[in-house]
Amino acid sequence: KFADEIIFRLGGGIQGIAESKIFFVSGRSGHKEIWAMDYDGANQRELTHLGSISLSPRISPDGSRLAFSSLTKTGWEILMYSLDLDRVVTFPKFGGTNLSPAWSADGTKLAFSSSRSGDSEIYVMDSSGANLKRITSFKGPDVSPVWNRKTGAQIAWVSGRSGLPQIYTMEADGTNVQRLTDEGYAVSPAWSPNGQFLVFSWIRHYGPGAPGAQDIYIMDIVSKQWVQLTHDGGRNDFPSWSPDGRHIIFQSSRAGGDQIWTMLADGTNQKRLTTAGSNMQPNWSWK
C-alpha cells in the first residue's frame, strides 16, 4: 500500500523522461571514466579520457556541467566537465580527499566531502569553487551529501558518528541534524524530485551471521516509513531518481559484475541497461 502511495505522490504533471540523460562510471575502456547514455540505455558514450579513476558524476540542474571526483597527481579532487565544450574545465583544488560533489537545486552551490582538515566532513561552496564553508564537525566520517531537489534548504548525507554509516538530514547551514535510519548500514542517499522521499542503499541486518543483503529502499522523510524495492541478492547501490519521479536507476551486482539497472519507483519492472565492462554510480539528469 505504501508503495502504491509513493507512485501516486510522485506522479503528477512532471514532464516525461524521453529527453533525459543518465551519467555513470564505466571501466569498459580500461580506466574508470565518466560516460553518458539515454534514459533507456541507448547511445552509450565516453565523456572523459583521463586515464585514472573518476567517480560519482553529478549533472548540474541546467544540464550544462558535470561535477565529479577524480584521482589526480595531487589526490582526489573535484573536477568539472562542460557538456557544451566537451571537455574538463578548470576548477579550484582543495587539498585532502575530495569526493561526491552534489548540486543545489538552483545550480549555484555544490556540497561535497573533504578530508582537508583531517576527518572527512561536509563542505559547501559556490559552483565556481569560491566561498568554501564547512558545515559538519563531528568525529567519524561525513560523506555523500545530496541537496533536497525541491526546497534546496536541506541536505541528506551519510555519517559514521554513531558507528556504522547511517543517513541523516540537516539544514544547508549544518543546523537541525536528524537521523533517519535506525539500524544496519545505510549509504548513498538521493532525493525524489518532489523533495518528500529519499532513496538509498541499506544493509538492514549487518554483521556476523546476518543475511547481509544490500538493497534499495525508499523512506518518507517526515513519517520515516520505508519500503524495500530490490530483493534480488547481490549488492544494490547508488540509486538515482528520474526527473518525472516515476523511475529509479541503480547499480547492481546481481548478475555478476556491477551493471546499471532501472525500475519503477515502487520496485517493479526492473531492467538492465548496461552490459559491457563494469558500470556503476548512475546519476539521472534533472530534466
Question: Tens of pLDDT along the chain (287 residues)?
Answer: 666 666 667 764 445 788 899 999 999 999 999 999 999 999 999 999 999 999 999 999 999 999 999 999 999 999 999 999 999 999 999 999 999 999 999 999 999 999 998 899 999 999 999 999 999 998 899 999 999 999 999 999 999 999 999 999 999 999 999 999 999 999 999 999 999 999 999 999 887 777 778 999 999 999 999 999 999 878 999 999 999 899 999 999 998 899 999 999 999 999 999 999 999 999 999 99
> Alpha-carbon distance 287 to 276, whole Å?
26
* Alpha carbons within 13 A on the beta-carbon side of 203: 16
Q: Say what the pLDDT of residue 13 is.
A: 41
* pLDDT recorded at residue 144: 98
Q: Where are the domains of the chain?
A: 2-284
Tell which residue, 191, 220, 188, 190, has the closest CA to residue 202.
Answer: 188
- Give, in degrees to the nearest 5, the angle at Cα 219 between 218 and 222: 155
pLDDT at 203: 95
**pLDDT (0 to 100) of residue 208:** 79
Q: Cell 545530496 sits at which residue?
A: 146
149 is written with which cell numbers?
Answer: 531537489
Cβ proximity of 218 and 226 under 8 Å = yes
Q: Are strands 87-89 and 98-103 parallel, antiparallel or unpaired?
A: unpaired
CATH fold of 2-284, please? Neuraminidase (2.120.10)
